[in-house]
Amino acid sequence: MSASDNMALIKGALDLDPWLEPYSNALISRQLQFRKWMEQLEQAEGSLSKFATSYEKYGVHANKDTKEIDAVLYIPDVDSVSLVGEFNDWNADSHKLNRVNDFGLWQLTIPPVNGNFAIPHDSTYKIMMVLPSGDRIYRLDPWVTRATPNKETNLYEGRFWNPEHEYKFKNSRPKIASHDGLKIYEAHVGISSPDPKIASYKEFLENTLPVIHQLGYNTIQLMAIMEHAYYASFGYQVTNFFAISSRYGTPDELKELIDHAHSLGIRVLLDVVHSHSSKNVDDGLNNFNGTDHYLFHGGGKGNHDLWDSRLFNYSNYETLRFLLSNLKFFVDVYNFDGYRFDGVTSMLYTHHGLGYGFSGNYNEYFNPDLVDNDAITYLMLAHELLNEISKRENNFKFISIAEDVSGMPTLCLPVNEGGVGFDYRLSMAIPDMWIKILKHLSDDEWDLGNIVFTLTNRRHGEKCISYCESHDQALVGDKTIAFWLMDKEMYTNMSILSPYTDVVSRGIALHKMIRLMTFALGGEGYLNFEGNEFGHPEWLDFPREGNGESYHYARRQFNLIKDDLLRYKFLFNFDAAMIHLDTKYGILDSSQAYVSLKHEGDKVCVFERNGLLFIFNFHPTQSFPDYKVGVETPGEYQIVLNSDAEDFGGFSRIEETTADGKKLSFFTNPDPWNNRANSLFTYIPSRTALVLQLKDKVVN
């Protein structure tokens, strides 16, 4: 390719950010490496999509037509491979695989027995290998789609999942309205019950999905779905990448859950962990064929010291087959609508972000000694794969979100514009900011300028998901926002039968305001971790040796919002009203807000976004009876959200209707204020947020 052709590969990125021009060579290098892989895969496999459909061939599969069982496995550096299990009394000599080539491919076809499959459905099996040393080792099939714990050993064992009748999806993937922003409910099936136990897929469908639908979230991000032997790892130490967690139920039950979510117009994202793998040997991938480099880097490069896990070798052909097939498997088989990629920062850099403070200097993102271009190429291939699948599925837009703290430029630009391909990145600085404020500052020390800067500090043209707190802030050792605000009184003063205390009234007011400000100002999408919307009163801690294997904190107390005598319902009601505000007015999927006022003395912040006027009074004691605010568009405005309303646990200090029962209106006058063409006067009580809209655009 010519120099001009190379520059064309990254034109979109340079047009958006001319400051990237000095790093053109690094950006072009990524594009050329990606295209080299694409050419290689197209020549060898037919297409990227066919390459990623290897899950249909690799592993152990049943042929429904012939009743044969086919086994295909990539296992280099061994002398022989056998399939053993209950079906052959674990006899290593009866079902040996044949060596297909010198690169480690093995194959076996098992004919039917008495007209039936030779391996019974749900029976256990393993892969037995003879090493060059003569030693025999037994491992789980890397492509196994079902794994369950052995009650005697507590080790997971692979199962041949081949039900006679599989679940058939009834509903197509939901199309989301063009103005509707991405509103994510981050959820963990196992903890989705008030009872101290592991909840099931069926219970989540019956009990939690209706709550999510009532709140108005249009997307669920399911955590800890890929099988993980250690429950307390929160799903981030994956042992079996193609198996879904058996703790919660069967594959068909997960399919039914996703299908039902689709019937409600809710998309479902998988929290995918391709940044590392569990170190487990007996029921994981580690040391699978007796070496330390099966799909992983060998030696120290293949270990993540902080996470105590293994690191994939993204330059390895079969590693790419495994991981890309894994993505397509969950889209094709389970109908997931996209992914939240965990640990992207660890993938992007050779230092994995450990002890590295990102300053925003572009040299940090394009230094060849710091950046892992093989991992970046894998992520580009992953997004090209999603694009190919999208074309197959009537241009359905699959969603991808990066958990990246570094802020790497072009991460959230399309591949054909010179980017890595993600749709969104998580705004990870926002929850850290809120926790630091609540932990270290008194109310009169809040710096509105810093708050607004942190909420709006994102790369132009690259979308972000804002959030106040995710599962990270709920884990034991930290505190949720509700806990930071009200932990001293959450067990004693949350009943409406008790008078409002200063702690609880402050906590409820600020909980709502923090959420609304983050929601409206912080990004092009929004995320909430389940239970936090109503101020869940306890942290999250999974059963482990350190807590006596207790499930007491590995649950979500949805029963609290059903009790009319408790104040949790007020926070729940407000969250629903806030989420529906976007459904009505399209706040998230619109241009960034224009902030017209950050008054440090009054603690008042005013901004406009997509025609809505947001007014926040964070002052702990001072209410303002006739506060002048600027607004660009003239007209008659009405309140569409009032955090001080009685339904939201407020004090109803604003009369939203006039004496004759009409809705209260605010009229602008052509008096410019704070760089806006018009202004209006309104009463804003202390610790209150108001949202106003032009009367003729109000949606009931």
Ranges of each domain in the chain: 54-158, 182-490+525-585, 594-697
Of the pLDDT bands very low, low, confident and very high (cuts 50, 70, 90), residue 394 is: confident
CA atoms of 126 and 132, how far apart (whole Å)? 19
Question: What is the helix (H) or strand (E) element at residue 41, kind and residue range?
Answer: helix 24-45
* Residue 234 tokens, joined: 């929160």
CA atoms of 504 and 488, how far apart (whole Å)? 9
In the chain, % of residues over pLDDT 90: 91
Residue 555, CA distances (Å) to 86, 247, 547 in order: 36, 14, 14
Strand partners for 223: 188
Residue 268's SS3 state is strand
In the chain, % of residues over pLDDT 70: 100
The pTM of the whole model exceeds 0.85: yes
Catalytic annotation, pick one of 342, 530, 541, 582? 342
Q: Does the pLDDT of residue 273 top 80, yes or no?
A: yes
Q: Does the pLDDT of residue 651 top 90, yes or no?
A: yes
Of the pLDDT bands very low, low, confident and very high (cuts 50, 70, 90), residue 620 is: very high
CA nearest neighbour of 418 among 5, 84, 8, 10 = 10
Long-range residue pairs from 434-441, CB within 8 A, at least 24 positions apart, any chain? 434/468, 434/469, 434/481, 434/514, 434/518, 435/469, 435/473, 435/478, 435/479, 435/481, 435/484, 438/481, 438/484, 438/485, 439/484
Residue 600, CA distances (Å) to 108, 188, 609 in order: 73, 39, 21
Where would I find the H helices in 402-549?
429-440, 448-456, 471-474, 481-486, 502-521
Letter for the amino acid at 419? G
The string over 496-535, giving b where at least 16 C-beta atoms fall within 10 Å of a residue's C-beta and e elsewhere, is: eeeeeeebbbbbbbbbbbbbbbbbbbbbbbbbbbbbbbbb
Structure confidence at residue 274 (pLDDT): 98
Cβ-Cβ contacts under 8 Å for 477 (sequence gap 6 or more): 539
For the question of residue 342 being annotated catalytic, the response is yes
Structure confidence at residue 224 (pLDDT): 97
CA atoms of 631 and 151, how far apart (whole Å)? 65
* Residue 93 tokens, joined: 């000599």
| Tens of pLDDT, residues 419-429 | 999 999 999 99
Across 231-251, average pLDDT: 97
| Tens of pLDDT, residues 126-176 | 999 999 999 999 999 999 999 999 989 999 999 999 999 999 999 999 988
Structure confidence at residue 648 (pLDDT): 98
Q: How many CB atoms lie within 10 A of CB 461?
A: 15
8 A C-beta contact, residue 481 and residue 511: yes
Cα torsion at 124, 130, 133, 134 (round to 10°)? 100
Residue given tokens 């979308």 in the structure block: 463
Structure confidence at residue 658 (pLDDT): 82
Q: Establish how many alpha carbons lie within 13 A of residue 605's alpha carbon, considering only the half-sphere containing its beta carbon.
A: 25
Structure confidence at residue 476 (pLDDT): 67
CA nearest neighbour of 649 among 490, 491, 507, 483 = 507
CA atoms of 334 and 409, how far apart (whole Å)? 32
8 A C-beta contact, residue 324 and residue 245: no
Residue 404's SS3 state is coil
Of the pLDDT bands very low, low, confident and very high (cuts 50, 70, 90), residue 477 is: low
| Tens of pLDDT, residues 490-536 | 989 999 999 999 999 999 999 999 999 999 999 999 999 999 999 99
CATH T-level topology, domain 594-697: Immunoglobulin-like (2.60.40)
Q: How many CB atoms lie within 10 A of CB 227?
A: 27
Q: Look at domain 182-490+525-585 and name its CATH class.
A: alpha beta
Residue given tokens 């086919």 in the structure block: 70
CA atoms of 378 and 274, how far apart (whole Å)? 10
Q: How many CB atoms lie within 10 A of CB 449?
A: 12
8 A C-beta contact, residue 194 and residue 558: yes
Highest mean pLDDT among 331-340, 471-480, 661-670 belongs to 331-340
CA nearest neighbour of 572 among 210, 183, 215, 188 = 215
CATH dotted code for 54-158: 2.60.40.10
Looking at every residue in the chain, the average pLDDT score rounds to 96
Structure confidence at residue 471 (pLDDT): 86
For the question of residue 203 being annotated catalytic, the response is no
CA atoms of 293 and 289, how far apart (whole Å)? 9
Across 44-69, average pLDDT: 97
Does this chain's domain 54-158 share its CATH topology with 182-490+525-585? no
Catalytic annotation, pick one of 141, 227, 403, 538? 403
CA atoms of 657 and 386, how far apart (whole Å)? 50
Q: What totals of helices (H) and strands (E) does the chain contain, helices first?
A: 17, 29
Q: Does the pLDDT of residue 475 top 80, yes or no?
A: no
Residue given tokens 């594959």 in the structure block: 251
User: What percent of the residues of the chain are helix, what percent strand, and what percent coil, each to the nearest 5?
Assistant: 35, 25, 45
Q: Establish how many alpha carbons lie within 13 A of residue 36's alpha carbon, considering only the half-sphere containing its beta carbon.
A: 11
